[in-house]
Homo-oligomer: A and B are copies of this chain.
Amino acid sequence: MSPSRLDFQLEAQATGSRARAATFRTLHSTVRTPLFMPVGTQATVKAQLPETLHESGSQILLANTYHLLLRPGPEVFKKMGGIHQFMQWPGSVLTDSGGYQIFSLPHSRSMTEAGAVFQSYVDGQRILLSPELSIQTQMAIGSDIMMVLDQCIPSTADEKAARKALQVTQRWAARSLAAREDSPQSMFAIVQGALYPHLRRESAEGLMQMPFDGFAIGGLAVGEEKAEREDTCELTACLLPADRPRYLMGVGTPLDVLEAVHRGVDMFDCIIPTQVAKRGSVFTSRGVIQLRRTVYKFSDDRLDPDCTCPVCAKYTRAYLHHLTKTQEPLGWQLMGQHNIHFYHQLMREIRQSILEDRFLQLYHEKRQILQVEDIDHPVTTVKPPVISPDHAQRVGDYELSVTPGEPARIFHITTGQTISTDAAAPLWNEEVPLAQHLRLPADVPAEEATPLILWDIGLGAGAAAIAAILTYEAEAEKGPLRPLHIVSLTNDLSALRLALSHKRHFPYLRHGAADTLLHRGTWTSRYKPGLTWTLLQGPLDETLPNAPTPPELTLHQPLPGMELPQGVPER
């Protein structure tokens, strides 16, 4: 192969593991691997100052071409001298190509050999994201490492779709490389192939014919099981050249990262450290801490006794518990800062152990601690009786009640309130039937109709949402309809989980939509592609702003105990 622009130097290879330590040089800095890259989608890592990122050991930040193309746009980067200058970041930057985002917008894009056409969420303009536009944008952004535009598909795609996607990715990779022209920026290719070993091999071998500076493993962390991911990761890493960095995209938890280093991967990115900080989850050397828990309310302990970050030096768990409960932005900032430091510290320990050839020992030690919750304050002190999930009578604060001769019911233990499990019960606005809302205006073809957005606030045991799905399916037999997008917002899936484990009592759940929703977060009808159901899980004030709008219909079934935002002035 041609020499890498990154001057990749392998420093050590662990015994009994594929883990390795290396260095490479970007246009802005020397990078030590293995490393974790915090995600700065919009040219900013959520609530983090560039200087604290730098101090915590961040080497490369990941930014996103799709988002930055739309806003602020490549002209701004050209005028401002590139992303480093724009966001005042002294380290390196890797830009993702936008392939993953395009893949995540199933309802607003069409994919052809030329590229993906989508509608801008900024100004509604239709944009063709081609390999050439992606690379031109990445050149304007001025990242150190550019990614080729790829066609990302669900890891669970069938073989035919997976082969087609990898072949498109292959052709787009060649076009991406050509589009770079004389830019000194590096470029990584992306290996696709879903979970099929022979397709991964075909993809890797094809891409390795071209002079890329590194290789990414794409199309994982998008729906497959952990073991499937790890097997595919290991297989793919083995196929890649030893003298180029290997980057596993979008992965993962600290444990995922450890597992992938063990399998030969050098680079990682993930939104987890800042995303979970927003809900008060913190990684520590004593397990994962959920700061919402009342056990920390009076705790004057530091977050992590073994951590050297500024947050652990200064604040108590009690204060961070308070910031979490009040959803104050300072909490996101401080806990995000700690979590990023935790990832970097883990990577430094991993690297050091590889250099000293004791990685395997570290791997076994870390594996234990990285998968537990707070070991000093376990969540359950009394072990619940062991019952198989199929027969669990309780999930969370919900209980199943079965009286012979009566319909089974699910009730909320604390309040005694019964959750609707009747998909034939009228929706609250049944008097304007849903069917009538779904009807197409006479002069509008189905493909131009405005989707009907239905907010299902609370979700309950899913009966209302399934009722809407059944209505849609029945009406669609009669003729074309407007698309229907059901969005369920909830903080607590317990009632639905409980109902699903007792399907014989709740026949409406024989419809597979609820299983898929729980498993994947979204469901699209195979036969009626206009019909989708999406789950937004979390506190309402976090999920509502991300819900598609405007809702034309809204179902309200707030669960008992659901904490609702209030409007008290601050002063």
CB distance from A293 to the nearest CB of B (A): 13
CB distance from A418 to the nearest CB of B (A): 17
How far apart are the CA atoms of A88 and B315 in the complex, in Å? 7
CB distance from A432 to the nearest CB of B (A): 5
Q: Does A544 contact B (CB under 8 A)?
A: yes
CB distance from A109 to the nearest CB of B (A): 11
Tell me how many chains of this kind the complex includes.
2
Q: Does A158 contact B (CB under 8 A)?
A: no
How far apart are the CA atoms of A71 and B505 in the complex, in Å? 42
How far apart are the CA atoms of A87 and B298 in the complex, in Å? 13
CB distance from A419 to the nearest CB of B (A): 15
CB distance from A563 to the nearest CB of B (A): 8
Q: A569-B104, A571-B41 known; A551 and B556 CB under 8 Å?
A: yes
Whether B564 pairs with A549 at a CB distance below 8 angstroms is yes
Whether B328 pairs with A44 at a CB distance below 8 angstroms is yes
Q: Does A288 contact B (CB under 8 A)?
A: no
Whether A47 pairs with B87 at a CB distance below 8 angstroms is no
Which stretch of A75-83, A201-209, A400-408 is in the interface?
A75-83
Whether A47 pairs with B330 at a CB distance below 8 angstroms is yes
Q: Mark A535-567, 1 if CB is under 8 A from B, else 0.
A: 010001110111111111010101000001111
Whether B571 pairs with A96 at a CB distance below 8 angstroms is yes
Chain B residues lying within 8 Å of A104, measured Cβ to Cβ, are 568-569
CB distance from A125 to the nearest CB of B (A): 14
Chain A residues with a Cβ closer than 8 Å to the other chain, count: 84
Interface centre among A269, A300, A536 (most CB of B within 10 A): A300
Q: Does A365 contact B (CB under 8 A)?
A: no
CB distance from A216 to the nearest CB of B (A): 12
Q: Does A297 contact B (CB under 8 A)?
A: yes
Chain B residues lying within 8 Å of A351, measured Cβ to Cβ, are none
Whether A569 pairs with B101 at a CB distance below 8 angstroms is yes
CB < 8 Å neighbour of A568 from B47, B88, B105, B544: B105
Chain B residues lying within 8 Å of A48, measured Cβ to Cβ, are 330
Whether B72 pairs with A568 at a CB distance below 8 angstroms is no
A 28-50 contacts with B by CB, 8 A? 39, 41-49
Which stretch of A169-177, A317-325, A466-474 is in the interface?
A317-325
Q: A44-B330, A76-B318, A319-B87 known; A325 and B568 CB under 8 Å?
A: no
Whether B333 pairs with A298 at a CB distance below 8 angstroms is no
CB distance from A222 to the nearest CB of B (A): 10
Whether A566 pairs with B551 at a CB distance below 8 angstroms is no
- Closest chain B residue to A64 by CB distance? B571
Interface centre among A48, A66, A76, A568 (most CB of B within 10 A): A568
- Closest chain B residue to A329 by CB distance? B47
Interface centre among A43, A121, A542, A571 (most CB of B within 10 A): A571
Whether B568 pairs with A101 at a CB distance below 8 angstroms is yes
Q: Does A368 contact B (CB under 8 A)?
A: no
CB < 8 Å neighbour of A71 from B76, B298, B314, B326: B326
CB < 8 Å neighbour of A319 from B86, B300, B547, B565: B86
- Closest chain B residue to A66 by CB distance? B568
Q: A43-B322, A319-B87 known; A121 and B333 CB under 8 Å?
A: no
Q: Does A258 contact B (CB under 8 A)?
A: no
Chain B residues lying within 8 Å of A318, measured Cβ to Cβ, are 72, 76, 79-80, 86
Q: Mark A293-306, 1 if CB is under 8 A from B, else 0.
A: 00001101000000
- Closest chain B residue to A103 by CB distance? B569
Q: Does A23 contact B (CB under 8 A)?
A: no
Which 10 residue pairs of A and B lie closest in terms of their CB atoms, listed nearest first?
Answer: A541-B545, A47-B329, A121-B566, A41-B570, A549-B564, A42-B326, A44-B330, A550-B556, A72-B322, A431-B431
| Given A271-B570, A429-B432: 8 more A-B contacts, CB < 8 Å | A75-B298, A80-B298, A80-B300, A86-B322, A121-B568, A546-B567, A548-B566, A548-B567
- 20 A-B pairs, CB-CB below 8 angstroms? A42-B328, A43-B322, A44-B328, A47-B47, A47-B333, A64-B570, A75-B298, A79-B300, A80-B298, A80-B319, A269-B571, A329-B333, A540-B545, A546-B566, A547-B567, A548-B564, A549-B564, A550-B558, A551-B554, A551-B556
